[in-house]
């Protein structure tokens, strides 16, 4: 088999849900931005200090602006210090479908924990500036009342920080998705060009033209026309799929049938193709031109290297939420060092495209069969073609 992938290069299926980021790894990068955060939170501190000073002038024209700054700026700087912690908790306990109850409980607990130093700081500053209503009461007496007084404000600030953090995170993921999409389109174009290059490869053309010339010498006009028509149809279908990332499985099978028709004309009775296709799989979405490299390798290494007949088997089935595709041959199997040969691009290209399309939500194995030959097996998330057409 031609590939640069491991003999059993398998990626386990997993849920599409984003895994929570470890708390420590999320906190450290955010903590490095603390100077910028303190500068940002100085703005609302100065604004609220100006507001406090302006209204204090109506009662006491001697009220100093420095006192307003002392009362307002440090509490806002406290929120700057707390922001990395809140954002790290937001990444660890996400408020998303399926996990939001656990995340909400964690954030409410964190809110209470963050509020205790916050209101304590306000109490200390108020006493330091001579606020009469606090000088006669201890922190233990005032803490419950101040927690209640500042609960709404704290909730708004905590929620605002969390919301901005999620907005930035989702924007980053959106931009990364756009980049991955662009790379995927490039990979798809390269795969389609590679499929065309493989079909137009001099060796392939030589064998096809040689087979046609043999049929002409035998005066097999029907076979000659069939082969020429097959090559033309194969190229037309490949060009028609340019730019399409996914196609319904029945379209990929149609393309594969044209390719197999040419190969069966070429090998005549030596090539036997067995199909076990579950009709329920025909409407599933699959990556465009995903099976042709696997079938080409099966024929090349399972039949072309020997004089006797060979067998290629195609299987497609649905197992729950997975689409399972298999290509099997009865050839000599994989030999040591097969994956280090020069020019091994077919299955390697398949493996790379699957990784970009599905990440860890697919499985791809390539291994020798117990009874001889090779099995290539794909497990993909089952997605109906109709669902994509509706944008779901």
Q: Which of 283, 268, 372, 269 is nearest to 323 (CA)?
A: 283
CA dist., res. 37 & res. 45, Å (int): 12
State whether residue 10 is helix, strand or coil: coil
Give SS3 for 316: strand
Kindly state whether residue 315 falls inside one of the protein's structural domains.
Answer: no
Q: Would you say residue 236 lies in a domain? A: no
Boundaries of domain holding 52:
23-175
Asked if residue 134 belongs to a domain, the reply is yes
**Residue pLDDT, tens place only, 207-242:** 567 667 777 787 777 777 777 777 777 667 666 665
| Position 102 in a domain | yes
Q: What is the pLDDT of residue 208?
A: 64
- Determine, yes or no, domain membership for 87: yes
Please tell me the pTM assigned to this model. 0.50
Is 74 buried (19+), middle (13-18) or exposed (0-12) by CB count in 10 A? middle
Provide the number of structural domains found in the chain.
1
Assess if residue 200 is contained within a domain: no
Determine the pLDDT at residue 206.
Answer: 67
158-205 tens-digit pLDDT: 999 999 988 888 888 888 878 888 877 777 766 665 664 454 445 555
pLDDT of residue 390: 39
**Residue 98 domain-assigned?**
yes
Long-range pairs, 255-260, Cβ under 8 A, ≥24: 255/289, 255/292, 256/291, 256/292, 256/295, 256/314, 258/230, 258/233, 258/234, 259/199, 259/234, 259/292, 259/295, 259/296, 260/295, 260/312
- pLDDT value at residue 322: 96
* 310 within 8 A of 273, measured Cβ to Cβ: no
Proportion of the chain in helix, strand, coil states, percent, rounded to 5: 65, 10, 25
Q: Which residues of the chain have pLDDT under 50?
A: 1-18, 196-197, 199-201, 342-343, 389-392
365 lies in a domain? no
């Amino acid at each position: 088999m031609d590939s640069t992938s491991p003999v059993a290069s398998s990626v386990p299926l997993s849920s599409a849900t984003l895994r929570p980021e470890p708390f420590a790894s999320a906190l450290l990068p955010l903590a490095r931005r603390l100077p910028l955060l303190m500068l940002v939170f100085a703005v609302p501190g100065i604004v609220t200090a100006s507001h406090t000073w302006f209204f204090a002038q109506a009662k006491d024209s001697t009220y100093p602006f420095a006192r307003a700054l002392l009362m307002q700026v440090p509490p806002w700087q406290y929120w700057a210090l707390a922001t990395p912690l809140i954002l790290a908790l937001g990444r660890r306990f996400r408020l998303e479908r399926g996990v939001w109850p656990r995340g909400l409980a964690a954030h409410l607990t964190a809110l209470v924990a963050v509020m205790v130093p916050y209101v304590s700081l306000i109490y200390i500053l108020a006493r330091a500036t001579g606020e009469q209503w606090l000088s006669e009461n201890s922190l233990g007496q005032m803490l419950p009342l101040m927690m209640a007084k500042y609960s709404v404000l704290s909730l708004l600030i905590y929620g605002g920080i969390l919301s901005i953090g999620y907005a930035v995170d989702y924007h980053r993921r959106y931009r990364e998705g756009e980049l991955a999409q662009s790379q995927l389109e490039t990979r798809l174009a390269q795969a389609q060009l590679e499929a065309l290059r493989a079909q137009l490869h001099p060796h392939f053309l030589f064998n096809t033209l040689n087979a046609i010339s043999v049929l002409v010498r035998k005066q097999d006009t029907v076979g000659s026309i069939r082969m020429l028509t097959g090559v033309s149809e194969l190229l037309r279908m490949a060009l028609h799929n340019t730019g399409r990332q996914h196609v319904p499985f029945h379209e990929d099978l149609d393309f594969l049938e044209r390719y197999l028709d040419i190969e069966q004309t070429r090998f005549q009775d030596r090539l036997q193709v067995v199909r076990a296709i579950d009709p329920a799989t025909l409407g599933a979405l699959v990556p465009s031109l995903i099976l042709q490299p696997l079938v080409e390798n099966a024929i090349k290494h399972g039949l072309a290297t020997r004089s006797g007949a060979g067998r290629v088997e195609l299987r497609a089935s649905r197992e729950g939420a997975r689409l399972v595709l298999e290509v099997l041959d009865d050839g000599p199997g994989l030999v040591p060092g097969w994956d280090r040969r020069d020019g091994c691009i077919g299955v390697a290209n398949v493996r790379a495209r699957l990784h970009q399309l599905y990440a860890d939500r697919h499985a791809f194995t390539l291994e020798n069969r117990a009874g001889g030959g090779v099995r290539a097996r794909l497990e993909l998330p089952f997605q109906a073609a109709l669902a994509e057409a509706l944008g779901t």
